[in-house]
Each structure stands twice: as structure tokens, then as C-alpha cells.
Amino acid sequence: MAPISEYINVLVYLAVALAIGVLAVVVGAVLGPKRPSRAKLMAYESGNDPAGEVKRFPVHFYAVAMLFIIFDVEVAFLWPYALSAGGLGLTGFYVLLIFTVLLFVGFLYEWFKGVMKWH
């Protein structure tokens, strides 16, 4: 196991990134102008006044979008393996096999729960 000192750079990077994000939100909220008006609080639809009934997307669209992101991230994990497959040997192959089987089990679960059926 690697000593913790090898992870210090990553931890510092994450801490600085988090601090910049939080600082930007806090500074914007504190220093930003607060002059709400009726026009500013009204819904915005491509420069037109809102008209008609609000139509919401079914939750199914969001579920499919999240599934796409999950399986898209899988490709991001497979890419480094594809580049270094020769040096990882059988251990790397078995780890990738377990990863792929777990993703396939999740895919089957989603399939049998009916998430991918369009009603």
C-alpha cells in the first residue's frame, strides 16, 4: 500500500477546487445586487411572456438521461485500461471483468425493472 504522502497532491487539488467553488458562490451571494422586480422574477421562455399551460417532462426522461451518463462514465473508466492493458496482466483483466460484470448486472436490473420501456 502506498503511503499517504503520495495522495497529498490530489487532496490539496480537491481542497483548492472546492474552496474556489464555494468562495465564488458565497462572494456572488454577498456582493451581488439584490433588486428583485416583477419582471426579474417572472419565468423566461426565449424572450417571450409565458403562455399556456406548463408541460412537464415525465420522470422517465430524466431516468434515461442518468442511465446514459452512468454508462458513458463506464467508457471513461475503460479507456485507461485499454491504453495500459499489456502492463496490467491477468490481475488487471480480472478487475476489468468484475467491473464489467457489475455494470451488466446493473443494466439487467434496470431492464427488468422496466426503466427502459417507453410508455
The string of pLDDT tens digits covering residues 15-40 is: 999 999 999 999 999 998 888 888 77
Is residue 16 within 8 A of residue 8, CB to CB? The reply is no
Question: What is the rounded distance in angstroms from the CA atom of residue 116 to the CA atom of residue 94?
Answer: 29
The closest alpha carbon to 93, from 108, 109, 78, belongs to: 78
According to DSSP, residue 7 is labeled G
pLDDT in tens, 73-109: 887 888 888 888 888 888 888 988 998 898 888 888 8
What residues contact residue 96 under an 8 Å CB cut-off, 6+ apart?
78, 81
Q: Is the pTM of this model over 0.85?
A: no
Judge whether residue 41 has pLDDT over 70. Answer: yes
Strand partners, 48: 45
